[in-house]
Structure 1
Amino acid sequence: MKKSYIAAALALTSCLVLGTAAASQSKTVTATFRPDMTLKVNGTTYTVRDTTGVRVSPLVYNGTTYLPLASLSQLLGAEVSWDQNTQTILIHDDDSASDYIGEAKAKEIALSHAGLSAGKATFLELKLDREDGRMVYEVEFYSGNKEYDYEIDAVTGTIVGYDYDIENYTIPSSGNSGTSSGNYITREKAQQLAQAKAPNATLVKLEFDFDDGRAVYEGELREGRTEYEFEIDAATGNFIKWEQDRD
């Protein structure tokens, strides 16, 4: 029954209101706002709002009524998103949830990858979300002094990404060699490498972390209105990421 409602809504609706949906083939038209029109679902009057929560009126153009697709889909139990890369409107109907592996399986996959039993972990979050156009389970849990974060494809069970943090852990400093007893470069060495790429910038952040099982230094430099973000492999000193943005 719900799917028929969604089909009816899509027949009625031709306008996507998701904030900044691209319009490479857009054109200007003259339309009429109709605050006198009322929307009812199963006999109940529904107030249509845009994605910021502001009340909006139906728009009529060439005899067709336009309403915010995101708002209607939410009402009808579906989720709408915009994929900027492919210029695609994505509509997810909750009825397709039967295709998903389920929360229990997602938890099992994460624990198995981390080499932990359920009794050794304290779960903080387990939710279904959309990431880069696909549905994933976001799994977050603690074990000992480590915090684990996983993203697991909701359909295939593939681990899309993971990382873990060691609480209250600092790479020890060492002498002139620039390496620590754990065979990782020191924080000081990581800072030197980063500032060699931006000599006049100021270091505002530098953290030791694990990303996809690899020890890294994640940091940020600022120089005026320019911001540099970087990741350095803590074992080799090689840059994994170096990005420059201007405010």
Structure 2
Amino acid sequence: MKNARIELKLKTAVEHSVPDVLDNILSQCEEQKGVVIPMPQAKKKNKWKSLIAVAAALALMAGGAAAYAQHQAYHKVDCIIGLDVNPSIEMKINQSEKVLAVTALNEDAEIVLAGMDFKGIDLDVAVNALIGSMLNKGYISELANSILISVENEDGEQGSQLQQRLAEEINSLLQASSITAAVLSQTIRADTELQTLAETYGISLGKASLIQKIMAENELLNLEDLVGLSINALNLLASAQNTELKNVASIGTASDKAYIGEEAAKQIAFTDAGVAEMEVSGLEIELDLDDGQLVYEIEFHGSGAEYEYELDAQTGTILKAEKELKHSKEDKSPGQLISAAQAKAIALNHAGVSAETARDMEIELDDDDDDDMAVYEIAFKCGDSEYQYKIDAETGEIIDLELDDDDDD
């Protein structure tokens, strides 16, 4: 009992000593309940979604890079191929042998390429089309059967293989068109000297390289004369002079059907000289080049004289003629000299020129000849030709003749 009273007294004392502030606190909370501070809840991250997004981005970048690399590889020039007949054509191909560009290097090539689009097609298809166009337009025929293939490739082995393959393919294409072809092929390097030569004369690198090789074997040939020749003419000239074309592969023989030939050339010279073939000795005939045109140079002895002729290889026109007749003092007997008028008539009659058409006539009597012979020296012009005669003033015999055709057209 005693304890119970004590606890009751303590309770009453505490209640009276601690103020009742509950209502006050509640009222203050009621006044501030409009201000709410949100507390964000932490969300759980999905790691798989992030990884998938990164992987997709990387895949997209890799695909773009691959597509760009493929685009660059497709448009990268791997090899340059030149085809020369008289038309000069340049083709650029990629590593897959797809044609990237075809360029005409001269007017004849523009005719060959007219209306044709080669971009993106296979090399073999393009070559077939080009050969067909050259055949149809008459640039390749039995009269001019030569073609030059030039391959420029940083990989020498690959370039050589392509050179050989194209040569065989083009030869087969021409045979299928009943053309007995002469196919020249080479690999080239576009060094400074070769590029300068090609740019200076407006020719392809391949043709410039071929001309370099021809001149290396014959220093007497003139560069300016060679650049204007077709590939068939260059091939024929090299063959006639037994020129070894280093590092140039050859299939077939250049056609000479557009030219009169050695047999016809010598007969023209014999007839003009008035010498029978059975009387001729020391005959020499050579196909050569003079002022940019192919000519036959003919030398022979007959009837006590030495003859030199130069004939246009295509037409047989006599461009130059020389006759030298040597007399010894023992063979001569003094006699009456013919007149200047008679010497003039002899020269005009031999030349087939009338007095009316001859111009710039010059006649001179030279009695101080090396052979102690009186000689009339006669020079005149007719048309584009210039004639120079030496006529024995005693006998009227033509002892020397020079004919120079100055027509450069």
- TM-score with structure 1 setting the length: 0.45
The answer to which structure has the higher strand fraction is 1
| Bigger radius of gyration | 2
- TM-score with structure 2 setting the length: 0.29
The answer to which structure has the higher helix fraction is 2
